[in-house]
Amino acid sequence: MTRNRSMKIASVAAFLAIVFIAVPAAISLSGRIDLYYTLTSVALLSIASAGVWLTFYIGRINIGQGAYALMGGYVSAILVMNHGWSFWPTIPVAGLLCAAASVLIGLPILRLRGVYFAMVTLTLTEVARLLALALPITNGAKGIVSIPLPGALSVFGLTIIPDFATLQNSRLAFYLLAVTLMVVCFAVMYRLVQSRIGKLCQSLQQNEELASSIGVNIAYLRVIAYAVSSFFGGVAGAIFAAISQSIYPSSFTVTDSVNFMLNCFLGGLGYVFGPMLGTLVLYFGWDLLFQTGRLQLLIYSGLMIVLMLVLPNGLLSLAETTRKKA
């Protein structure tokens, strides 16, 4: 037990050293500062995908995370542009509003299972896009543009985070912000899964009727898991709007919702950190296949099918299998 604990601590320390020290140092040496935006996108997509993984954990197929990412982006942009808010409080507010909306939506639809729940959530992203096109506050198809960079964050007169507009390299600042939130997100996910609530959520995945028969409040757990999932989507969307300094109805589409789901499948549904690895591989894999031109989608789809057949439990299952053999 002590050895396993030491290995986990060493793995976490190594991961933190890589994302906070090694990666910025490598980018600085190579001069490829454009990679900051790429890796920031991977970190934020991992956060949104983590929310999808949580709904899988309770036995629901969620293909509607794009709706909450879009909503979070608009909430942050509207508060900053129309009401003069600082960017920083809009992050939790966007997440909380998305969580509140998911509770209202989830109360009726979480009774559905399997493909029925998946189809309903699939329509949510399209509904969100159409609402963004129709509502005056979202500025229709024109979207919200020229969103200012995040200002300084001060507590009791002490500046904790400087004004991004004054920084020489704001991309590095966004990268550090994104990976910090990603680390916090997955730490919360890991703690939640290991807690009593996490074990109860896992029982819903196995057999809801049996869990209900022993006194588990399955309706409460489903709503809580879906709300946390949507909170992550809203937070990711809010930061995306700040990075791109704009938000449009097409910023998050049905394709993005499907990709969030694929990230979980590829990394491994049985592993908390599966969405993180899946997002990294899927994002860079798609970019690498860009050189193949019109064959890109065909090769991509074929590789995904092969991976699902060879590694049905995701890429992380390969590491576990290797460790067991060793």
Q: Across all residues in the chain, what is the average pLDDT?
A: 90
Predicted confidence (pLDDT) at residue 326 exceeds the cutoff of 70: no
Distance CA 270, CA 277 (A): 13
**pLDDT on residue 71:** 96
Task: Match 């290797």 to its residue by tokens.
Answer: 322
Contacts for 148 with CB less than 8 Å, ≥ 6 apart? 80, 87, 165, 245
52/257 Cα distance (integer angstroms):
9
Q: What is the distance between the alpha carbons of residues 257 and 176, in angstroms, rounded to a whole number?
A: 25
Q: In whole angstroms, what separates CA 210 from the centre of its chain?
A: 31
pLDDT category of residue 189 using cuts at 50, 70 and 90:
very high
Amino acid code (one letter) for 176: L
> What digits encode the pLDDT tens for the residues 270-325?
899 999 999 999 999 888 888 888 888 899 889 888 988 888 888 888 876 666 66
Identify the residue with better confidence: 173 or 4: 173
Of the chain, the percentage scoring pLDDT greater than 90 comes to 64
Residues with Cβ within 8 Å of residue 184, at least 6 apart in sequence: none
Which pLDDT band, with edges at 50, 70 and 90, does 111 fall under?
Answer: confident
154 — pLDDT class (breaks 50, 70, 90): confident
What does the alpha-carbon distance between residue 241 and residue 247 come to, in Å, rounded to a whole number? Answer: 6
Average confidence (pLDDT) over 12-32: 92
Across the range 138-144, mean pLDDT stands at 93
Write down the pLDDT at residue 325.
64
Q: For the residues 232-244, what does the mean pLDDT come to?
A: 96
Work out the percent of the chain whose per-residue pLDDT is above 70: 97
Q: What is the spatial distance between Cα 127 and Cα 165, in angstroms, rounded to a whole number?
A: 35
- C-alpha span between 315 and 269 (Å, rounded): 10
Segment 85-108 shows an average pLDDT of: 95
Per-residue pLDDT, 323:
65
Is residue 60 classed as helix, strand or coil in its secondary structure? coil
Q: List helix spans (H) across the chain.
A: 2-17, 23-30, 34-57, 65-83, 87-109, 114-134, 170-194, 196-206, 208-213, 218-244, 254-267, 274-288, 296-310, 316-325
Q: Is the pLDDT of residue 231 over 60?
A: yes
**The pLDDT value given to residue 197:** 86
| pLDDT for res 321 | 67
pLDDT in tens, 30-68: 888 889 999 999 999 999 999 999 999 998 999 999 999
pLDDT the model gives residue 186: 95
